[in-house]
Amino acid sequence: MRNEPGETVEQQETPTRLEPSEGSDLSDRSDQAVQTSTTEEHPWRRNPLDSFRYALEGIIAVVRTQRHMRFHFFSVVLVLLMGFLFRLDKREMLVLLFTISIVLIAEMFNSAIEATVDLATQEYDPRAKFAKDIAAGAVLVATLNAIVVAWVLFMGDLRLEQIRLRMERAEPTMTIAVTIGTILIFVIVSLAKVLATRGKVRLFHGGVLSGHSALGFFFAIAIIIVSGNLLASILALLLATLVAQSRVEAKVHTLREVVIGSLLGVGMAALIYWLMPR
């Protein structure tokens, strides 16, 4: 409304303020906002175990998705078994563990950098290639360092002679030999499946060779060596053959994969029997 000259405005309109009524939506929203701000202001109130859980999820994810990481993990198991088999002392095992950890950490950083670069750009970029190449180079340096350390520990000056003397004094029993053979077969079969399989790996189903057949014939040959009984030897071979035949009938493995696994089991049993002192 327009004011004429000489007239004064006695009242001015003032904005009215709405007070939230009891139980209204406005009061509920304000309470939620206060709670949200309080939570954001105090991040220390979160569960401290969440960080540990996230770290475990990261390790599991990198093992499931990265083929090279699976290879490194199985290599770690194989190297540690060799360390126990060669009877390395505590200091040597600590050096071995530290060196292996460097390789695993480098591979995990490499995977993280590759994922970050792929998230940033999907097109070819020389800078992206530069970052990925440097990360891969770090893994290579750590791996070469691990190989040198392993060579010094296992094959150093007079090292083989010391290892041989320790193994002769130990006098391993057949139980220890069978246990070591079983673990070695599992590691070899798992490593072969990891290297030959693309995508998700199923350690106990399918693959480039039959682990069930390998273990079946390994135990059969061990029974033949230990028992020296003709009937027990025939039954052991029949059971191993039935295990191998069931893998083919179930279409889990082909005949070639079953034969390769069976040969692995027989060869491992013969190798352990040959290495055992008599």
- Which residues are catalytic, by number? 107
Whether the CB-CB separation of 261 and 212 falls below 8 Å is answered with: yes
Angle at 216 between CA 213 and CA 219, to 5 degrees: 145
Q: Which residue in 253, 239, 181 sits closest to 210, CA to CA? A: 253
In angstroms, the CA 221 to CA 218 distance is 5
Q: What is the DSSP letter of 206?
A: -
Distance (Å, rounded) from C-alpha 93 to C-alpha 233? 40
Q: How far is CA 126 from CA 107, 115, 123, 203, in A?
A: 22, 16, 10, 38
Q: At what angle do helices 255-275 and 174-196 cross, to 10 degrees?
A: 140
> DSSP alpha helices (H): ranges in the chain?
25-41, 49-65, 67-85, 90-120, 126-155, 159-170, 174-196, 211-227, 230-249, 255-275
Dist CA 102 CA 142 (whole Å):
6
Using CA atoms, how far apart are residues 184 and 270, in angstroms rounded to an integer? 13
- What is d(CA 243, CA 253) in angstroms, rounded to the nearest whole number? 12
Residue with tokens 């039935």: 242
